[in-house]
Amino acid sequence: MKYGVHKRTLLFIAGLVWIIAGANILRIGIITWLDDTHDWLFKVCEAIIVFLLFFYLVFIKLFYKHRERIAQKKENKNCPFSFFDVKGWIIMAFMITLGITVRTFHLLPNSFISVFYTGLSSALIITGILFFVQLYKEKK
């Protein structure tokens, strides 16, 4: 690639994309949460469970997979979008489409969306931070 990026840049872009996605989903979760503040302690516990499930069963594995794949790339001249593989981009597109569809057609109640999005977004943000931590380690 003529205008490729360094593999450390891929770690930065990956972290940024995960955090931006998480922040956007967190914004939606908080907005729907504010519409229904009943049983907030129970909802917090549910959001923690969603976070733990997604972080430990899905996102940490994806982090390790993408971290290793990026580490095996050449130093320079990598496509800026290659922090994900094709499967990762397809999964991300599917998740975005599913989320928009669920909210547009009101397929799930806001009480579910608020809890699910808050937990999911926290897992996304922490995963993004892991990419930044890896970038910091690579710079040392």
Q: What string of DSSP letters covers 46-104?
A: HHHHHHHHHIIIIIHHHHHHHHHHHHTS-SS-B-TTTTS-HHHHHHHHHHHHHHHHHHH
CA distance 83 to 65: 10
Share of residues in the chain with pLDDT > 90 (%): 85
- What pLDDT, on the 0 to 100 scale, is given for residue 14? 96
What's the whole-number mean pLDDT along residues 68-76? 90
Asked whether residue 37 carries a pLDDT value surpassing 80, the answer given is no
- Site of tokens 């990762």: 88
pTM of the entire predicted model: 0.92
Cβ 14 vs Cβ 79: under 8 Å: no
Number of residues in the chain: 140
Q: Pick 36 or 7 by higher pLDDT.
A: 7
Beta-bridge mates of residue 78: 5
Q: For 118-127, how does the pLDDT look when each residue is reduced to its tens digit (9 = 90+)?
A: 999 999 999 9
What's the whole-number mean pLDDT along residues 48-71? 96
Cβ 31 vs Cβ 116: under 8 Å: no
Q: For 107-120, how does the pLDDT look when each residue is reduced to its tens digit (9 = 90+)?
A: 999 999 999 999 99
- What pLDDT, on the 0 to 100 scale, is given for residue 47? 96
